[in-house]
Amino acid sequence: MSDEEQGIKMVMAIIRPDKLSDVKTALAEAGAPSLTVTNVSGRGSQPAKKGQWRGEEYTVDLHQKVKVECVVADIPVDDVVEAIAESAHTGEKGDGKVFVLPVESAVQVRTGKEGNPAV
Amino acid sequence: MSDEEQGIKMVMAIIRPDKLSDVKTALAEAGAPSLTVTNVSGRGSQPAKKGQWRGEEYTVDLHQKVKVECVVADIPVDDVVEAIAESAHTGEKGDGKVFVLPVESAVQVRTGKEGNPAV
Amino acid sequence: MSDEEQGIKMVMAIIRPDKLSDVKTALAEAGAPSLTVTNVSGRGSQPAKKGQWRGEEYTVDLHQKVKVECVVADIPVDDVVEAIAESAHTGEKGDGKVFVLPVESAVQVRTGKEGNPAV
Ligand SMILES: Nc1ncnc2c1ncn2[C@@H]1O[C@H](COP(=O)(O)OP(=O)(O)OP(=O)(O)O)[C@@H](O)[C@H]1O
Ligand SMILES: Nc1ncnc2c1ncn2[C@@H]1O[C@H](COP(=O)(O)OP(=O)(O)OP(=O)(O)O)[C@@H](O)[C@H]1O
Ligand SMILES: Nc1ncnc2c1ncn2[C@@H]1O[C@H](COP(=O)(O)OP(=O)(O)OP(=O)(O)O)[C@@H](O)[C@H]1O
Ligand SMILES: [Mg+2]
Ligand SMILES: [Mg+2]
Ligand SMILES: [Mg+2]
């Protein structure tokens, strides 16, 4: 452990489903291969999109997204955030967000290890 | 940014699926339209409910719920919690919970913006 | 409330799907019956597993897991973590992780109760 011990962090990203593969590769390259993926839907700051189906107007207000959660301890959390933000980027509206949450403790179930080595 | 800078918060609510539409409307009216939705199941403090199907007794111990996550920075988090709690309310057991978690940083993927403006 | 008030915590565990039933029982016995369950997929620190299907090689890099979230206030969070870690254990790679995150506030939607009694 170094002087700059950052503690354990959860990086939670909401991304486009078709960017998951690039994000996984970028995370592995950044030294953070472990992750948990959840199918979610959501909306950002844009108003709902309107469409037509068989003459009926409908509103698409939730878009399919993927949530990626990546708990890290021994590598700089900023590197992990940057790896996700770069690999998830298209430049079009709807690219998503990356949030960092504090984690107070961690246990690896198989070994019973706690703290940074558990992550 | 004001003196009363609250930081970034994640409001995580577990609600009835049929209240999602009301909660989305209430959040938009409260100035917090952005949200992420996940299908979940869960149980609260009540013991499992027993039923019968074709003569067999079974136990329903996990109920379908919806998780709503809403990260906010520039509007008071208490207003967001209240908007959800009011719009998700029926008065019957199983209405759900609202939790607030601290968030240390945020990035908007399309623009690279960080902090409050990213939320 | 005691001198040793720990605050509200979210225990988030990623476990094997076939361990969910044992984990639910262990949590109820530990006095923490309330929980939220999400179907997720993920990978830990092992490289992807390779297989063959009809002569084609494929890579399984995300495994089905279950996320269990359990917010607690009045019982020691370490007891809850231990209950999950013990009941989710097989000793084989892939048993999962338990993380603890701080929670700043809680509301029970039906009653409007706040803080520890809301959890
Ligand atoms: N503040 C937020 N809280 C919770 N989830 C959010 C938030 N902002 C965005 N999300 C999630 O991220 C997804 C993508 O958001 P999106 O990229 O559209 O954000 P945006 O702020 O509208 O940015 P852009 O202008 O680039 O579209 C949403 O569908 C939602 O699931
Ligand atoms: N402490 C908790 N930790 C994690 N999830 C919870 C917790 N309490 C409730 N939930 C989630 O919220 C859902 C609804 O809970 P519920 O409203 O039944 O809570 P309750 O405390 O039993 O209140 P009520 O007496 O009004 O039923 C549960 O199915 C579960 O998904
Ligand atoms: N650091 C992490 N961040 C986010 N999710 C994780 C992390 N580590 C593990 N997980 C989740 O837990 C699941 C199981 O992980 P796993 O038990 O394989 O971890 P491990 O560190 O490889 O331990 P083992 O050597 O016992 O396999 C993963 O599929 C993933 O969903
Ligand atoms: Mg948008
Ligand atoms: Mg209940
Ligand atoms: Mg593993």
A55-76 confidence digits (pLDDT tens): 877 666 899 999 999 999 999 9
Share the mean pLDDT of chain B. 92
Locus of tokens 């989710």 = C88
A34 vs chain C: nearest CA distance in angstroms? 4
CB atoms within 10 A of CB B105: 17
Euclidean distance between CA atoms A62 and A45, whole angstroms: 12
Closest residue (by CA) to atom 5 of ligand 2? C35
pLDDT at residue B62 tops 90: yes
List the single range of A67-71, A103-107, B109-113, C51-55 with lowest mean pLDDT.
Answer: C51-55
Label residue B46 by pLDDT band (50, 70, 90): confident
| Identity of residue B59 | T
Share the mean pLDDT of chain A. 92
Assembly ipTM:
0.94
Residues belonging to chain B: 119
3-state secondary structure chain C: CCCCCCCEEEEEEEECHHHHHHHHHHHHHCCCCCEEEEEEEEECCCCCEEEEECCEEEEECCEEEEEEEEEECCCCHHHHHHHHHHHCCCCCCCCCEEEEEEECEEEECCCCCECHHHC
Query: pLDDT at position B49, please?
Result: 67
**CATH no., domain A8-43+58-118:** 3.30.70.120
Query: pLDDT at position B1, please?
Result: 45
With CA atoms as reference, the chain C residue closest to B77 would be C105
Closest residue (by CA) to atom 31 of ligand 2? B42
The residue-averaged pLDDT of B75-98 equals 98
Sketch the domain layout of chain C as residue ranges.
Answer: 8-45+53-118
- Select the residue from C43, C45, C87 to test the A interface by mutation, using most A Cβ atoms within 10 A: C43
Euclidean distance between CA atoms B25 and C13, whole angstroms: 32
Question: Can you read off the two tokens belonging to residue B78?
Answer: 């208490």
* Residues lining ligand 3, Cβ inside 6 A: A 34-36, 69-71, 108, 110, 119; C 14, 42-46, 63, 65, 93-97
Query: pLDDT at position B4, please?
Result: 60
- C44 vs A36: CB contact, 8 Å cut-off? no
- Which ligand 3 atom sits closest to the C-alpha of C45? 22
The residue-averaged pLDDT of B44-49 equals 77
CA geometry: angle C85, A66, A68, nearest 5 deg: 45
B9 vs chain C: nearest CA distance in angstroms? 9
- Which ligand 2 atom sits closest to the C-alpha of B63? 29
User: How far, in Å, from the CA of B43 to the mean position of ligand 1?
Assistant: 29
**Per-residue pLDDT reduced to its tens digit, A28-51:** 999 999 999 999 999 999 766 666
The residue-averaged pLDDT of B17-37 equals 96
C4 vs chain B: nearest CA distance in angstroms? 21
Query: pLDDT at position A1, please?
Result: 46
**Which chains neighbour B (Cβ–Cβ under 8 Å, 3 or more pairs)?**
A, C
Non-local (6+) Cβ contacts of B7 within 8 A are B73, B102, B103
| Residues A93 and A62 sit within 8 Å (Cβ to Cβ) | no
The residue-averaged pLDDT of A83-92 equals 98
Q: What is the DSSP letter of A96?
A: -
* Residues lining ligand 2, Cβ inside 6 A: B 14, 42-46, 63, 65, 93-97; C 34-36, 69-71, 108, 110, 119
Kindly list the averaged pLDDT for each block of 10 residues, start to end, along chain C of length 119.
77 98 95 97 82 73 96 97 98 98 98 97
With CA atoms as reference, the chain B residue closest to C38 would be B40
pLDDT at residue A111 tops 60: yes
pLDDT at residue B56 tops 90: no
In angstroms, how far apart are the furthest CA atoms of chain A?
64
CATH architecture of the domain with residue range C8-45+53-118: 2-Layer Sandwich (3.30)
**CATH no., domain B8-118:** 3.30.70.120
